[in-house]
Amino acid sequence: MFWLHFTLRRFIKFHLKNGCRILNIDLKKLSFVKGFLDEEEAQRLFDLTLVSSRLAPCLEIGSYCGKSAVFLGTACRENNAVLFSVDHHTGSEEQQPGQEYFDPDLLDEKTGKIDTLRLFRKTINDFNLDKTVVPVIGRSEIIGRVWQTPLGLLFIDGSHAYESVLNDYEIWARHILPGGYLVFHDIFPDPAHGGQAPYLVYKQAVSSGQYDVLPLFKSLGALKKKN
């Protein structure tokens, strides 16, 4: 437990021009939030969101149980901004019963379906982000049909099937303002390290010429929209 708290302390800090400020995040609660976000990647997301949320609201595709929303949302709160968190909350393909990332704790016994919404809402409540994080419940391709709000940052971390990642990129990236960020999770140039769908779509975004490419940070691929 000491090791866990030490590592968590490392990445809930962010550096300002004149020093370092500690964020008000409950470490014990955070350690029990389900999710797949690496600690250092969480810090990187926070840093990008802290800058981009000054431009416009931010949006993530793929909420799961809210771990990424804690970091994105806390950064947005620093700027009195808003994070929209889009998810249908019935689990992606790999989280269904019998699949690699199935978690029986997330199975609704009455419906026989995955339900992450109750845990997502609990996370948002536990971290006092109710006035910052707005759950948008539904499929991103449907919500995206009518979306009009410009975005400072788009974090794509929903379904990792190629068609789904491509749809998320094509539907949502056009709303990013110049100077804003497009961020993909689970970017693995080497197939031995992970699935290739997010990486293939990330490469399409790079080749579009619309973005300045930031160095890969572990499995985060971040692109900055050109002016």
Active-site residue, 185 included: no
Q: Are 122 and 89 in contact (CB under 8 A)?
A: no
User: How is 69-92 classified by DSSP, letter by letter?
Assistant: HHHHHHHHHHTT--EEEEE-SS--
The pair of three-digit structure tokens given for residue 8, joined into one six-digit string:
């968590």
Among residues 88, 89, 160, 175, the one annotated as catalytic is 160
Could you tell me the sign of the dihedral formed by the alpha carbons of 142, 145, 149, 153, in that order? Answer: positive
Question: 137-140 — which CB contacts under 8 Å span 24+ positions?
Answer: 137/87, 137/88, 137/89, 138/86, 138/88, 139/88, 140/61, 140/86, 140/167, 140/168, 140/171, 140/172
35 backbone φψ class: left, alpha, beta (φ>0; ψ -120 to 50): left
Query: What span, in angstroms and rounded, lies between the C-alpha atoms of 223 and 170?
Result: 15
Residue positions annotated with a catalytic role: 160
